[in-house]
């Protein structure tokens, strides 16, 4: 049984979808005005792993991830100017061009780290009618009021406002007031109130629409409410996001959607923690960001980043260091070489203890999926993956691994990779890849050291190969042989 931590109930809960066969999942998507950094990408990998787990359990997942191309203001507290409009002005381009440019880069990054493409990626600017319909409903029910700059949602009128944060309306307002650095926006009744529609100023020509309240553009929160319910219905299974969205964006989504329909909108709220650098959130404003391109330029394969993300639990902060990324790159390479070596097993010996070996592999596979069922305990699941590799390597070292066993391990590894997304399939049938140049060089250097009787250096190289590359050397009569462990 899959258990997930639900931010709404503040505890782990068994996952039961509304329909037996289908899961509706809405993921807050990109605001397409900048290059994604690897903190942002962690969030999308979290979503991707959840989706793969659900698919592995046989559900058809309708994964909707929006593209925000208008309405997301510079501050998440819904103040300042539209991020896309600002960027368009700065670059002297249209908002549409800015959105198209950055969306393409995002999607390329997603492909490079094996994030499955969402089933739908609706753009905010193409769903404004639905947003206006929702605003109309809220207006009819008396939740809205007009100010000089827009139409606001009165959060004091929504019963249970703030439920997601564990605080009620009053407590949330008081805590925000205590920490407020800015004056309440003119005309706003409560500090938690937010705009569902913003009025355009005269210089705005692009991305503005007519409405009963005047020419303007939608607020960021109403976009997600309207798009999620348009594609998944007014009551759906899962909504995902980063932890920074709990207090404002998702709290406001719940208020609008539920005020409009009178029904609970989402059963499970799934939030991922931050990627941090030296104890601080990786973010553009702190100037401590790396993009995927930076990582690639430093010589790391993109999937090393994916494996690095998987090394932490999604609900815990993960500290980014190049050292940790190097470890992930080495581990990734070790798994790929392992997949290749499984192809090369030739022995057809009939092993009497084959069923014992297969049982051990099956037990680790079961433990892998059981760990994932426990609120996606990926670090534990990865330990099971490594146990499979190590048990198989020991058997090979004993000279026992036969072809049929190797095939069965390959199948198991490929099944685990349906969740991990680390390209094991590309190596399963591949010819042996030439050793990385640096490894070849090290092996040669060790040979030279041995010939020169510099055994200290030879031993040191043996250790580096083992610890960094998981390569174990054996000196045989036919020369030096290597295997991956």
Q: Which residues of this chain interact with Zn ion, rule CB under 5 A?
A: 28, 224
Q: Which is nearer to ligand AMP, 37 or 365 (CB)?
A: 37
Q: Which is nearer to Zn ion, 224 or 254 (CB)?
A: 224
Q: Could you tell me the smallest distance in angstroms from the CB atom of residue 66 to Zn ion?
A: 6
Q: What angle do CA 363, 368, 371 make, to 5 degrees?
A: 120
Q: Which is nearer to Zn ion, 31 or 410 (CB)?
A: 31
Q: Rule CB under 6 A: is residue 43 a binding residue for ligand AMP?
A: yes
Q: At what angle do helices 322-343 and 403-420 cross, to 10 degrees?
A: 140
Q: 205 to each of 94, 182, 222, 238, 464, how far by Cα in Å? A: 10, 29, 21, 36, 62
Interaction partner, residue 224 (ligand AMP, Zn ion, none; CB < 5-8 Å by kind)? Zn ion
Which residue's Cβ lies closest to ligand AMP?
242
Query: Considering only residues 17, 24, 39, 150, which one is a binding residue for ligand AMP as defined by CB under 6 A?
Result: 39
Interaction partner, residue 275 (Zn ion, ligand AMP, none; CB < 5-8 Å by kind)? ligand AMP
Q: Which is nearer to ligand AMP, 199 or 275 (CB)?
A: 275
Q: Could you tell me the smallest distance in angstroms from the CB atom of residue 426 to Zn ion?
A: 34
Q: Could you tell me the smallest distance in angstroms from the CB atom of residue 28 to Zn ion?
A: 3
Strand partners, 239: 26, 269
Q: Which is nearer to Zn ion, 2 or 36 (CB)?
A: 36
Q: How far apart are alpha carbons 381 and 376 in whole angstroms? A: 8
- Burial of 35-61, coded b for 16+ CB within 10 Å and e otherwise, reads bbbbbbbbbbbbbbbbbbbbbebebeb
Task: Judge contact between 474 and 481, C-beta under 8 A.
Answer: yes
Quote the longest CA-to-CA distance of the chain. 89
132: enclosing H helix or E strand:
helix 128-140
Q: Which is nearer to ligand AMP, 295 or 388 (CB)?
A: 295
Interaction partner, residue 65 (ligand AMP, Zn ion, none; CB < 5-8 Å by kind)? none
Candidates 119, 130, 139, 106; CA nearest to 36 is 106
3-state secondary structure of 192: coil
Query: Considering only residues 71, 122, 162, 241, which one is a binding residue for ligand AMP as defined by CB under 6 A?
Result: 241
- Binding to ligand AMP (CB under 6 A) within 252-291 occurs at 274-275, 281-283
Q: How far apart are alpha carbons 71 and 420 in whole angstroms? A: 35
Query: Considering only residues 7, 40, 192, 393, which one is a binding residue for ligand AMP as defined by CB under 6 A?
Result: 40
Q: Rule CB under 6 A: is residue 245 a binding residue for ligand AMP?
A: yes
Candidate ranges 39-47, 164-172, 435-443, 459-467; the one touching ligand AMP (CB under 6 A) = 39-47
Q: Rule CB under 6 A: is residue 28 a binding residue for ligand AMP?
A: yes
Q: How far apart are alpha carbons 223 and 71 in whole angstroms? A: 8
Q: Could you tell me the smallest distance in angstroms from the CB atom of residue 78 to ligand AMP?
A: 13
Q: Which is nearer to ligand AMP, 73 or 151 (CB)?
A: 73
Q: Rule CB under 6 A: is residue 71 a binding residue for ligand AMP?
A: no
Q: Could you tell me the smallest distance in angstroms from the CB atom of residue 275 to ligand AMP?
A: 4
Interaction partner, residue 282 (ligand AMP, Zn ion, none; CB < 5-8 Å by kind)? ligand AMP
Q: Could you tell me the smallest distance in angstroms from the CB atom of residue 32 to ligand AMP?
A: 10
Q: How far apart are alpha carbons 328 and 313 in whole angstroms? A: 15
Query: Considering only residues 149, 244, 460, 485, which one is a binding residue for ligand AMP as defined by CB under 6 A?
Result: 244
Q: What angle do CA 368, 111, 19 make, to 5 degrees?
A: 55
Interaction partner, residue 341 (ligand AMP, Zn ion, none; CB < 5-8 Å by kind)? none
Task: Judge contact between 198 and 190, C-beta under 8 A.
Answer: no
Task: Judge contact between 385 and 368, C-beta under 8 A.
Answer: yes
Q: Which is nearer to ligand AMP, 122 or 242 (CB)?
A: 242
Pairing mode, if any, of strands 275-277 and 318-319?
A: parallel
Q: Which is nearer to Zn ion, 196 or 224 (CB)?
A: 224
Q: How far apart are alpha carbons 142 and 194 in whole angstroms? A: 15
Q: Which is nearer to Zn ion, 240 or 393 (CB)?
A: 240
Q: How far apart are alpha carbons 88 and 72 in whole angstroms? A: 13
Q: 160 to each of 154, 157, 167, 483, how far by Cα in Å? A: 13, 9, 9, 60
Q: How far apart are alpha carbons 444 and 128 in whole angstroms? A: 64
Interaction partner, residue 39 (Zn ion, ligand AMP, none; CB < 5-8 Å by kind)? ligand AMP
Q: Could you tell me the smallest distance in angstroms from the CB atom of residue 271 to Zn ion?
A: 12
By CB under 6 A, name the binding residues for ligand AMP: 28, 31, 39-40, 42-43, 241-242, 244-245, 274-275, 281-283
């Amino acid at each position: 049984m899959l258990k997930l931590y639900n931010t709404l109930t503040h505890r782990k809960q068994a996952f039961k979808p509304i329909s037996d066969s289908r899961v509706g999942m809405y993921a807050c998507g990109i605001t397409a005005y900048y290059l994604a950094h690897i903190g942002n990408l962690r969030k999308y990998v979290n979503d991707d792993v959840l989706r793969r787990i659900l698919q592995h359990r046989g559900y058809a997942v309708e994964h909707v991830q929006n593209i925000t191309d208008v309405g997301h203001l510079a501050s998440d507290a819904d103040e300042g100017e539209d991020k896309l409009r600002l960027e368009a002005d700065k670059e002297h381009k249209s908002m549409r061009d800015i959105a198209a440019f950055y969306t393409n880069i995002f999607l390329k990054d997603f492909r490079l780290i094996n994030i499955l493409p969402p089933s739908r990626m609706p753009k905010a600017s193409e769903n404004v009618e639905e947003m206006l319909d929702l605003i109309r409903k809220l207006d009819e029910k008396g939740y809205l009021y007009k100010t000089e700059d827009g139409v606001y949602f009165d959060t004091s009128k929504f019963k249970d406002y703030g439920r997601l944060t564990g605080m009620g309306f009053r407590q949330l307002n008081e805590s925000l007031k205590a920490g407020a650095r800015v004056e309440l926006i003119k005309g706003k009744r409560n500090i938690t109130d937010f705009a569902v529609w913003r009025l355009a100023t005269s210089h705005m020509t692009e991305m503005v629409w007519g409405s009963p309240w005047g020419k303007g553009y939608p607020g960021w929160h109403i976009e997600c409410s309207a798009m999620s319910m348009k594609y998944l219905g007014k009551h759906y299974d899962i909504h995902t996001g980063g932890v920074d969205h709990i207090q404002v964006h998702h709290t406001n989504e719940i208020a609008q959607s539920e005020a409009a329909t009178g029904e609970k909108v989402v059963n499970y709220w799934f939030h991922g923690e931050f990627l941090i650098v030296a104890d601080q959130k990786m973010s553009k404003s702190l100037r401590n960001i790396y993009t995927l391109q930076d990582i690639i330029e430093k010589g790391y394969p993109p999937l090393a980043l994916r494996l690095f993300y998987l090394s932490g639990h999604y609900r815990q902060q993960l500290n980014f260091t190049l050292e940790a990324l190097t470890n992930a790159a080495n581990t990734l390479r070790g798994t790929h070489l392992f997949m290749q070596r499984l192809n090369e097993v030739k022995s057809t010996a009939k092993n009497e203890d084959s069923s014992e070996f297969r049982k051990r592999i099956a037990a680790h596979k079961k433990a892998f999926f059981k760990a994932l069922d426990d609120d996606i305990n990926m670090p534990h699941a990865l330990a099971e993956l490594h146990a499979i590799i190590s048990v198989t390597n020991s058997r090979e070292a004993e000279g026992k691994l036969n072809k049929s066993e190797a095939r069965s391990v390959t199948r198991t590894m490929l099944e685990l990779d349906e969740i991990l997304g680390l390209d094991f399939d590309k190596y399963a049938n591949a010819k042996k890849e030439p050793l990385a140049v640096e490894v070849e060089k090290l092996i040669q250097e060790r040979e030279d050291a041995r010939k020169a009787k510099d055994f200290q250096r030879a031993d040191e190289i043996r250790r580096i190969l083992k610890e960094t590359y998981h390569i174990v050397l054996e000196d045989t009569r036919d020369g030096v042989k290597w295997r991956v462990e």
